[in-house]
Amino acid sequence: MAKPETRLGLVRRARRMNRILADTYPDAHCELDFGSPLELLVATILSAQCTDKRVNMVTPILFAKYPTVEDYAAADRTEMEEIIKSTGFFRAKTNSIIGMAQAVCDQHGGVVPDKLKDLVKLPGVGRKTANVVLGNAFGVPGLTVDTHFQRLVRRFGWTDETDPVKIEHIVGELIPKREWTVFSHRVIWHGRRICHSRKPACGVCPLAALCPSFGTGPTGADEARKLVRSGPFS
């Protein structure tokens, strides 16, 4: 029977996996198109239960019609719903975007805040959305614990937690803080391209030797290679 992994062993393995992911995805980045913190915040709200590709098709129209946070705050609900309808859950997303904009105007002088404690108080903004904005618009390190991230760190054997906040803190103790944002992108890219939910491409996975879940998907290179996808994704 193999010995249980020590804490030091886990930290070393996690950081080796991060280095491999860095080599595998040197261009990993946020796949939502944006030009400002406000645009990224809106795009991230729209990305819930929707692909980045679809969001990026909608946002040029949205950003052109509502160039300022004041424009979003005063938006006609029916018009906004029509623009974002194809992203799904458009009524709830319209509520969140208009409510977020009104709160930014009323509470932050029309400027998207750059602190987690302020962002998560905005309508429609949870920790995941806040960390996306902090990391990619403000350069503040943050872990984006989306469904891909949760699935992969459990497969990696880093944690068996299912609560996103607990996962965020656990992984934050394994990976250097300065790398949190880009590490999130690496993991998400890997989850979208190779480590799929139902049938991961184990046979061509660069992390195979370090992953306790190797064998969850096909281990033969030829079969696994057929499962590899290219982006952008949800």
Residues contacting residue 82 through CB under 8 Å, at least 6 positions apart: none
Phi, then psi, of 175 in degrees rounded to 5: -110, 135
User: Crossing angle, helix 37-46 and helix 90-108, to 10 degrees?
Assistant: 150
128 is a catalytic site residue? yes
In whole angstroms, give the CA distance from residue 195 to residue 206. 10
> What letter would DSSP give residue 234?
-
E strand or H helix at 131, and its extent?
A: helix 127-137
> What letter would DSSP give residue 32?
S
**How far is the CA of 133 from the CAs of 32, 35, 113, 137, in angstroms?**
11, 12, 10, 5
Point out the catalytic residue in the list 93, 128, 199, 222: 128
In whole angstroms, give the CA distance from residue 165 to residue 8. 23
Residues contacting residue 7 through CB under 8 Å, at least 6 positions apart: none
Point out the catalytic residue in the list 146, 160, 166, 177: 146
Which amino acids are annotated catalytic?
128, 146
